[in-house]
Every structure is written in C-alpha cells, then in structure tokens.
Amino acid sequence: MRKIIVPIDFSKYADYALKAAAILAKSNDAQILALHMLEMSDSVLTTTDVEQHEKIHYFLRLAQKRFDDFLDKPYLKGVDVVPIVKHFKVFSEVNQVAEDHSADMIVMGSHGASGFSEYFVGSNTERVIRHSTIPVLVIKSEPKNLDFKNVIFASDFKDEAIKSYINAMNLIKEFKAEVHLLHVNVPGENFMSTTELEEQVSGFLQKADGNLNRLDRVRYVADISVERGILNYAKKINADMIVMPTHGRKGLSHIFEGSISEDLANHADYPVMTFKI
C-alpha cells in the first residue's frame, strides 16, 4: 500500500477517515492524498465578469486556507500528505484522481443515510463506492488503532467475485487478521439447500485458491436479508471489519437492484471495505 486517498469535506467524519488513513500510512510507509472538491459550476469558473472573477478567487483562497487548517493535525506528523483541490463536486472524479495517482485505497468517513434522504439523495460514500475501481474503506467513528484482527468476507461466492476475493485476501493478509468467510442464505428465489451452498463455495475456493484450505472458515447463516445476516454475524463474533465485493451498479440497474455493499457501508457501525467486481 503506497498511496491512500481521503476525500475531505471538513466534517468530523472526514477527520475520522483522515486519522484512519494516517494510521495505515504510518504502518505501511504510505502517502496520503487529501482530496477536497469545491462546489463550483463551470459557468461560474469561466465567467468574464471582473468583479465576479475576484469573488471567485477570494472564495478559492478561503477554501484553500480552510483546507490547510484542517490538515494541520498532530496525528499527521511524520506522514507525507499531498493536498489536492478540485473545483467540481463530481464523485466519479475521486476514482479519476485515484487512477491518475495510482492510488491503492480510498478511505472515507460516513455518517450514513436512511429513509427518504437515502432513497432520493443517497450518501456521498455510496457514490464513491459506486464509481471506485480500487478498495474503499468506510469509517463511521473515531479510529483507535485499526487493529483488524477479526474480519468478515461476505459474498455469494459466485465466480464473478473471484478477483475481489483474491484482492481482499491479499490485503487481509497484510493486516494479519483472522478471516471468516460468510454466506447469507435468504428466503425466496435465491434460497439454496445446504448441499447447493457447499458445492458452490467449494467450487469457488478451488478456482480462487487452487485448494480448499479455507473451507473450514466458511460460515452459512440464514436471515431475512443479506445485510441483516451480515450485521448479526458481525455482532456475534465481535468483528473488527466487514469486507464485501461490489458491482458498483449505476443508473436504472442501481435503482431497481440496489447494492448490498453500499447499503451496508451506509448502515453498519463497523468499518466496511468494498472491492469492485
């Protein structure tokens, strides 16, 4: 892990994410790319009005000072922090910055959303997860030490998740964590018998790992929803983090199908890390 992106909106949750990134950066000798996105339209930035132009520069300087002040944290001492300011608040641009700088991970703070605000607006975290091609770690509270020793990897263990699984296992190995592989069986058309589940997971592990050494780490739980099953199991084993693959669906497919990983990142109190399928 060489470069970590942290989107900054000056909230306490951004501070949680920045502190978490600092812990990871210190333990991995990594660089933090602190990203702030201004809410300015193209028409405002390209105006030819002299007075308006001066106002824009004034507000840009204020934003830069606020950004500099926000990054003046004791816990960042000794950490290589590169501030990046973008003029537009376009969440797909976070992934573009990640690609331009060959970043390894995005760390975001989130307070989540629910009800009508979630349905009609969604959270910034969801938008970043939806567009990101690199892992996204979502932090909900002030981190102490990020001692990820008890980690859940939740999946349906279909072949499309093999790449995400391999990437996740490599990262979890760096944390020296115990991994629990979890499949949640729910009622309805996706319900599977015990034999079907065991066959599917065995085939998945054989393709992904080339062996069945992790088969004894797989747990099957039944619940009324995948999200609830994951959260109940996380509580049962006192998990430190939940890891999930995500499709990153957009547009109508997202509206009608949703994303379990995005919902989980929004609602869970645990740190959640997503890997793009």
Question: Domain with 155 in it: what CATH number?
Answer: 3.40.50.620
Asked if residue 177 and residue 93 are part of one domain, the reply reads no
Amino acid (one-letter) located at 127: R
Asked if residue 142 and residue 34 are part of one domain, the reply reads yes
User: Alpha-carbon distance 136 to 243, whole Å?
Assistant: 10
Asked if residue 61 and residue 49 are part of one domain, the reply reads yes
Domain housing 91: 1-146
Answer whether 0.75 is exceeded by the pTM. Answer: yes
Sign of CA dihedral 209, 210, 215, 220: positive
User: Alpha-carbon distance 205 to 203, whole Å?
Assistant: 6
Nearest to 152 by CA among 70, 235, 74: 235
Asked if residue 159 and residue 87 are part of one domain, the reply reads no
pLDDT value of residue 122: 44
Q: How far is CA 216 from the centre of its chain?
A: 27
DSSP-assigned beta bridge partners for residue 108: 138
CB 228 within 8 A of CB 245: no
CB 83 within 8 A of CB 66: no
Asked if residue 155 and residue 142 are part of one domain, the reply reads no
User: Alpha-carbon distance 234 to 159, whole Å?
Assistant: 24
Nearest to 34 by CA among 143, 107, 124: 107
Domain boundary among 146, 172, 197: 146
> How many structural domains are present in the chain?
2
pLDDT value of residue 120: 37
pLDDT value of residue 255: 37
pLDDT value of residue 39: 66
- Token pair listed for 113: 């959303």
Domain boundary among 112, 146, 180: 146
Asked if residue 100 and residue 164 are part of one domain, the reply reads no
Note down pLDDT in tens along the chain; length 277 residues: 899 999 998 999 999 999 999 999 999 999 999 998 876 555 554 556 667 667 777 777 887 888 999 999 999 999 999 999 887 666 778 888 999 999 999 999 987 654 443 333 346 788 888 889 999 999 999 998 888 999 999 999 999 999 999 999 999 998 889 999 999 999 987 899 999 999 999 999 999 999 999 999 999 999 999 999 999 999 999 999 999 998 865 544 433 345 788 888 877 889 999 999 8
- Token pair listed for 242: 């939940």
Asked if residue 248 and residue 116 are part of one domain, the reply reads no
Q: Report phi then psi at 57, rounded to 5.
A: -65, -35
Q: In what order do the strands lie in the sheet with 272-276?
A: 80-86, 31-37, 3-8, 105-109, 136-139, 272-276, 241-246, 150-154, 178-185, 218-222
Asked if residue 198 and residue 156 are part of one domain, the reply reads yes
CB 40 within 8 A of CB 47: no
- Token pair listed for 32: 């933090």
pLDDT value of residue 49: 67
pLDDT value of residue 119: 36
CB 131 within 8 A of CB 98: no
Nearest to 155 by CA among 191, 182, 120, 118: 182
Asked if residue 105 and residue 154 are part of one domain, the reply reads no
CB 274 within 8 A of CB 244: yes
Asked if residue 137 and residue 161 are part of one domain, the reply reads no
Asked if residue 253 and residue 166 are part of one domain, the reply reads yes
Under DSSP, is residue 110 helix (H, G, I), strand (E, B) or coil? coil
Domain boundary among 97, 117, 146: 146
Asked if residue 49 and residue 37 are part of one domain, the reply reads yes
